[in-house]
Amino acid sequence: MAELAPADRLKRAATIFGAFIAVAIIAIPIPIVHFVVVPGGLLLAVLLGTLRLREGAIFRGVQGRCPFCGTEQQFPLYGRFSLPKSLHCTNCGRKLTLDESQNAG
């Protein structure tokens, strides 16, 4: 897990905000399409930019040893989620739980 400094959070939010503003601007001269894409782009720019600005920490990946079979592995993490997170060992298939107390920083 990586803690994000305020400058990093602002940079991530500005990137996503700028991308959707660019989509909205590009769609302005396109007939019919601009009725949906421009308002949608503006709305998504504000919503996703705000969400990124509020994220104080992000997961870059999780790796560790299965406590049951001892296999060292990297666990895939996709999308947004909160802790505790259920995972499965790729070797023995047993259910594992990732929580805050296991975070080494």
Which sequence spans correspond to the domains of the chain?
Answer: 2-58, 62-102
Nearest of 44, 87, 46 to residue 68 by alpha carbon = 87
Tokens 């503006």 map to which residue? Answer: 42
Q: Which pLDDT score is estimated for 84?
A: 79
How many CB atoms within 10 Å of residue 41?
21
Q: What is the pLDDT of residues 39-60, one digit of tens each?
A: 999 999 999 999 999 988 777 7
The phi, psi pair for 102, rounded to 5°, reads -90, -5
Q: Which pLDDT score is estimated for 56?
A: 81
Handedness of CA 105, 3, 71, 91 (dihedral sign): positive
- pTM recorded for the entire structure: 0.67
Q: Tell me the one-letter amino acid at 13.
A: A
